[in-house]
Amino acid sequence: MQTFGVEMVAQPEINHSTERTFMTSDSQFSITRAISTLSAAKQVAAKWVSSEISLAQMQSQLDAVTGNSTTTPPVVGQVEIASQAQRNHDGALGDWRAGLKELHQRSVQALNMAKTKFRNDPASLAVLSSLHAAGGSPDKILSEALAWESAWGQLAPTWSPTTTNTLAAFKLLRKQCAEDLQTAYTDADSANREAAGTLEQMCESLEDTNVSWYADATRIFPAGTPEGDMIRSSIPTTYTPPADKTATATSTAQSAPKTP
C-alpha cells in the first residue's frame, strides 16, 4: 500500500533586501534643518542675506520637497509624491501576495486530491508523483502551478477537486499572478524607487544649501552676538538616531561646519 505525503501551504516569500522606505533618516534631518535654517535666515535678513541664495529661493527649494498648501496653486512636494508611490507599491505587493497565496492553496488542494483520486492508476500516478506544491518564492509557486496545470489538462481536464477550483479558474488565476499582478507590482516598485531616489537627491541639495548658509552665517555673525547665538542654538547640525535603534551613535549630517 502506498502512502501519499500531504503538501503544506506556505506563505509567498518575496525578497525585500534591496527595498527601502520612501525617506531615509538623513533626508528627514535635512528637511528639519532646512526649516530651521530658513527661519534663521528670515530673522537676520535685515542685516544680511546670502549672495548664493535668496530667501525666496530657499523657500522654493524647501517647498519643492515638503509641499506648500498656502500657495496658489498649492505645491505638491516630493515627500508626498514619494509617500504615494510607497503606498501604491505596498498595495500592489499586497495584491500580488494575495494572488500567489490563493494560487498556492489551490495547487496544494488539487494536487493532493488528484494523487488520492488516481492512487490506483499507475500511469497517472507516475505523472503526479513528480509534481509538488511546496511554495516559497513567487517563481517557485508559479512554476509549480504551471506544471500542475499542464498535468491536470492532460490527465483529467473535466475533473475538479471542488466546484470553485476548476481547471479554467486555476488557469485564469495563474495567468493573473504571472502577468497582471506581477506587472503591476514591478511597475509600482520601479515608480517607488524612482520617487524615493528623487527625494533623496533633492534632500542632498537641500542639505548643501543648509551647510553653505550656516558656514557663511556663522562667519558673518560671531558667537556672542544675538544673531550668532540664535543661529547656533536654533539650527541643528548633528543627527542622533533614536535610542531604541542605536543608543550611542551620532552622525554629523553632511559634515556640517563646527560652531566657531
Q: Where are the domains of the chain?
A: 25-239
pTM: 0.81
Report pLDDT digits (tens) over 182-241: 999 999 999 999 999 999 999 999 999 999 999 999 999 999 999 999 999 999 998 776
Output the pLDDT for position 243. Answer: 66
Span 71-117, pLDDT tens digits: 999 999 999 999 999 999 999 999 999 999 999 999 999 999 999 99
Interatomic CA distance for residues 29 and 25, integer angstroms:
6
Among all chains, which residue has been given the C-alpha cell 504571472? 178
Mean pLDDT of 234-254: 62
Q: Is the pLDDT confidence value at 248 over 70?
A: no
Listed in sequence order, the residues at least 6 apart from 184 whose beta carbon sits closer than 8 Å to its beta carbon are: 92, 95, 96
CA distances from 231 to 62, 63, 89, 226, 235 (A): 18, 22, 40, 9, 6
Q: CA distances (Å), 121 to each of 125, 126, 158, 211, 229, in order?
A: 6, 9, 17, 77, 89
